[in-house]
Structure 1
Amino acid sequence: MQSYDMVVVGSGPAGQKAAVQAAKLSKRVAIIEKSPQLGGTSLNTGTLPSKTLKDTIEYIHGLGRRGLHQLGAELTRQLTLPDLMTRKDLVIKTEVAVITDQLQRNGIEVIHGTAGFVDPHILRVVRSDGHVDQVRASTIVLATGSRPRRPAEIPFDDLIVCDSDSFLRTAKNPAGIIVIGGGIIGTEYASMLAAFGISVVLIDRRTHLLRFLDQEIAQALDSQMQQNGVVMRLGQEHLDISMNESGYPMVRLQDGETVTADMMLYTMGRIGNTEALNLAAIGLLTDRQGQLTVNAQYQTAVPHIYATGDVIGFPALAATAMEQGRLAACHAFHVSDAQGIKVIPYGIYSIPEVSMIGKTEEELATDNVPYATGRAFFREMARGHISGDLHGLLKVIFHRDTHTLLGVHIIGPGATELIHIGQSILTYGGTVEYFVHNIFNYPTMAECYRTAALDGLNRLQHHPRPNWAI
């Protein structure tokens, strides 16, 4: 039986960073991965492939914004959805090679197989050829990720009726698609497929998209998605999903409407990958979604067993998973200068992109915090006209009295990159004056920060004592 200082179960973002951090601390580390290919859901069926698909569609869609409508339309006519998947496969292959090299350089052993607990320090590993091993570890990190929820009443065939994993393997080139679920995944796919010219109907029982967003930004996203061709059926429960006589999915809605399309994508919820771990052997329980509960240091109820990433639920982002994995390893090996996650940027890779950090107007109003806002519209920026990105918006929110930055909310191309400027100022308690007193390259979209700060401060000067917001 091989013994290690740390064994990590799962090679997604959380597992990779936990393993590498432990290796950097001169620990003997192994990763157990059940799939033949490293990278977990994030690399193979989640974050990376869907964002690669979005990037390709965004490029084609952007030709129209730049006045090259004929070229964009011609490309859309020539390309099929499976054509776009080809680039996704190439990016995945390249990233797997990068991860494999990183693990090898750090001396991390990779064991391919399915892991389950024998006792709190021993894992039984069943390899794909049926061979069974056991490994012992002083510390164990569970980073097994999640998978799409697949209710029994949905007629999945992974060709016409897909979840977000199987959709990325589709060989279909639909003219129309029904997306069930208006969360982040459903919104991203609905927006990008509509931008590619596919007829999209988005169905969700909630009356508003992405309620955690600042509502001004959420409403702008809703409007732009509809302009790009997404038909919204919000506030609608789907009562029945079946296949019609032609073999196409048919959805009967609460209001009596029936929606039919070539394909259906079901994106309502995810389940933690914990059932193979034999958690009963160590006395750990999961919730109904298969997720584990951890403390602030990512420890489970068994202190030397940590859990990170999607398997612990919210926020279930690749970026936060990476940091959770690193912090778990730091805590396990008593690295005293490890800092907890302070403020998390959220990125939604829709078309257009949305990103946010800090508080929304709605949250501040509820908490009775006096605040002011400043806005910069992409149409005001020279760079916006160069790139044709005229419908975006960057909003800063700051304390009315101290001018401390409280939140940044962006919609528009490049939002997920642009947010990090605001993140730096917000994390270290800066004020909006930073944006006024510093020079930004011209022409860039980063200038939006200066314009938004000036807008907010000028309005504050002219209206010094508003009730709450300006």
Structure 2
Amino acid sequence: MAEHHYDVVVIGAGPAGEGAAMNATKNGCRVATIEDKQTVGGNCTHWGTIPSKALRHSVKQIITFNTNSMFRDIGEPRWFSFPRVLQHAEKVMAKQVKLRTQFYARNRVDLFNGSAYFLDKNRIEIRGGTRANEVLRAKTIVVATGSRPYLPPDVNFRHHRIYNSDTILKLSHTPRTLIIYGAGVIGSEYASIFAGLGVKVDLINPGSRLLTFLDDEISDALSYHLRNNGVLVRHNEQYESVDGDDHGVVVSLQSGKKLRADAFLWCNGRSGNTERLGLENVGLEVNSRGQLQVDEHYKTEVPDIYAVGDVIGWPSLASAAYDQGRSAASDVNGDQYFRYIADVPTGIYTIPEISSVGKTEKELTDAKVPYEVGQAFFKDLARAQITGDEVGMLKVLFHRESREILGIHCFGDQAAEIVHIGQAIMNQGGEANTLNYFINTTFNYPTMAEAYRVAALNGLNRIF
């Protein structure tokens, strides 16, 4: 059995694993990455972030074409099938794989194809794949195996009309009606996408409101726009059974209701990919969701074994995962770039999109912080009027006395880009982080960024 020696072995080639591997090799470590797929990029590139956002972009273009009166001169509104729209996503995925494969080659990180299995805390056996039965030995091991959809055992996901958030990307037709179970980030995003394709969607939410971690006003806006686009949102409902036949799927709810649709999409929870790692051989246990516990340096309970990305749970975002991987490698090498990733903006790619950073109004109210609100509505911005993307708003929360920026909440086109301007000011600290920056800075006109000036002046008017 061939044995290879490395300083660091990374399990998983998604964003978290890539961040760890690239930072470790740039610090002079000899690094190997084990990946069970044939190509790098992880679930982010192949099943999650990249395909769903590329799909959303295509749907958004279709909506623009079908609703903009200017396009009527060149033809009537068009209907596009789901598989046809997916073709654009597949091209983006291929470009991402090519780019990330070059990163590994250029930085001389050895890629091993197969599944990782701990023999002990310093040795990993590769099972299956093209490098089966080889053993990698290293002082430090970083677990970055990601997550997959949680699949309840009482739902038959082998049925050709029952999908989860991974398998939906293999949907070969366009259903007329769709039931989505789970109204978290993924469920809300897919509800927007399918509604944009003209599908009648029932969105079943086991909770009492959409995305409770969001600012209440933003959550309410999302609910309104989903309903306005033909999504029926059903709150406080749990499934009793999900039964597929040749013609559709019947969902029986615990409340006694029965729903029928052409297809069913499960978007309720994710589990860490840990079950076949041999963690018992190193004394590591996972929680009920298959996730590993780590400290504020991304260390597990076993010395020199780190864990990063979705496999540790919150926030389960590609952006955070990459930075967690980099930080774990910084901890290994003791460089100056280590940080615990806590300041994470949310980016939710519904139509329109949502993004926020910092505190919500509820959090500030509960903490009895004397805050004030500055608002800018997109319908009043020249740039939004030009582009036709007039739905949305920017909300800046700031301290009444010090004017310190406490939270940024944005709903509308390009929200995930717009939020970073506010985030940059919030991170300056001290006198630099105040509403005054937006009041005393000249913004390009017309731009979406100008929303910060409008919101700041709006907030200033509320201080007496």
Give 1:439 deviation, angstroms. Answer: 1.2
Alignment gaps of 5+ in structure 2: none
CA distance in 2, matches of 1:28, 1:70: 59
Give 1:152 deviation, angstroms. Answer: 1.2
Q: Is the 8 A contact 1:188 1:348 kept in 2?
A: yes
Q: Give yes or no for the alignment of 1:439 onto 2:442.
A: yes
> % of aligned pairs identical?
41
Q: Report what 2:151 is aligned to.
A: 150
Range with greater deviation from structure 2 (67-76 or 435-444): 67-76
- Matched position secondary structure for 1:434: helix
Q: Report what 2:102 is aligned to.
A: 101
- Report the TM-score, using the length of structure 2 for normalisation: 0.96
Give 1:436 deviation, angstroms. Answer: 1.0
Give 1:67 deviation, angstroms. Answer: 3.4
CA distance in 1, matches of 2:341, 2:10: 21
Q: Is the 8 A contact 2:35 2:112 kept in 1?
A: yes
Q: How does 1:351-370 map to 2 (within 5 A)?
A: 351-370=351-370
Q: Report what 2:372 is aligned to.
A: 372
Q: Give yes or no for the alignment of 1:270 onto 2:275.
A: no
Give 1:66 deviation, angstroms. Answer: 4.1
Q: Give yes or no for the alignment of 1:43 onto 2:45.
A: yes
Aligned pair in 2 of structure 1 residues 149, 448: CA closer, same or farther (>3 Å)? same
Counterpart code for 1:269: G
Aligned pair in 2 of structure 1 residues 64, 455: CA closer, same or farther (>3 Å)? farther
Equivalences, count: 459
Q: Deviations over 1:93-134 (max 9, x none)?
A: 111000000111001010001111011000011132583110
CA distance in 2, matches of 1:209, 1:439: 36
Q: Deviations over 1:161-193 (max 9, x none)?
A: 000000001112111111000011000000111
Q: Report what 2:116 is aligned to.
A: 115
Q: Give yes or no for the alignment of 1:175 onto 2:176.
A: yes
CA distance in 1, matches of 2:251, 2:204: 9
Q: Report what 1:336 is aligned to.
A: 336
Give 1:441 deviation, angstroms. Answer: 1.1
Q: Is the 8 A contact 1:14 1:322 kept in 2?
A: yes
- Matched position secondary structure for 1:93: helix
Q: Report what 2:208 is aligned to.
A: 207
- Matched position secondary structure for 2:322: helix
CA distance in 2, matches of 1:75, 1:93: 30
Counterpart code for 2:356: M
Aligned pair in 2 of structure 1 residues 65, 375: CA closer, same or farther (>3 Å)? farther
Q: How does 1:406-417 map to 2 (within 5 A)?
A: 406-417=406-417
- Matched position secondary structure for 1:94: helix
Give 1:20 deviation, angstroms. Answer: 0.3
RMSD: 1.5
Q: Report what 1:468 is aligned to.
A: none
Range with greater deviation from structure 2 (120-129 or 42-51): 120-129
CA distance in 2, matches of 1:223, 1:196: 18
Counterpart code for 1:28: R
CA distance in 1, matches of 2:353, 2:73: 23
Q: Give yes or no for the alignment of 1:449 onto 2:445.
A: no
Aligned pair in 2 of structure 1 residues 296, 126: CA closer, same or farther (>3 Å)? same
Aligned pair in 2 of structure 1 residues 114, 342: CA closer, same or farther (>3 Å)? closer
Q: Deviations over 1:360-402 (max 9, x none)?
A: 0000000111100010000110011111112211000001110
CA distance in 1, matches of 2:412, 2:226: 12
Counterpart code for 1:114: S
Q: How does 1:51-66 map to 2 (within 5 A)?
A: 51-64=53-66, 66=68
CA distance in 1, matches of 2:134, 2:257: 55
- Matched position secondary structure for 2:268: coil
Q: Report what 2:327 is aligned to.
A: 327
CA distance in 2, matches of 1:88, 1:37: 16
Q: How does 1:219-238 map to 2 (within 5 A)?
A: 219-238=220-239
Give 1:2 deviation, angstroms. Answer: 0.8
Alignment gaps of 5+ in structure 1: 465-470
Counterpart code for 2:37: S
Give 1:71 deviation, angstroms. Answer: 7.9
Aligned pair in 2 of structure 1 residues 314, 213: CA closer, same or farther (>3 Å)? same
CA distance in 2, matches of 1:447, 1:159: 48
Aligned pair in 2 of structure 1 residues 117, 372: CA closer, same or farther (>3 Å)? same
Q: Report what 2:138 is aligned to.
A: 137
Give 1:233 deviation, angstroms. Answer: 1.0
Q: Deviations over 1:395-453 (max 9, x none)?
A: 00001110000000000010011110011011122101111111111111111010001
Give 1:341 deviation, angstroms. Answer: 2.7
Give 1:337 deviation, angstroms. Answer: 4.2
Q: Deviations over 1:46-76 (max 9, x none)?
A: 1111111011111111335543474899454
CA distance in 1, matches of 2:70, 2:183: 31
Q: Report what 2:295 is aligned to.
A: 295
Q: 2:26 aligns with which of 24, 28, 33?
A: 24
Q: Is the 8 A contact 2:239 2:252 kept in 1?
A: yes
- Matched position secondary structure for 1:132: coil
Counterpart code for 1:309: G
Q: Is the 8 A contact 1:65 1:389 kept in 2?
A: no
- Report the TM-score, using the length of structure 1 for normalisation: 0.95
Q: Is the 8 A contact 1:65 1:388 kept in 2?
A: no
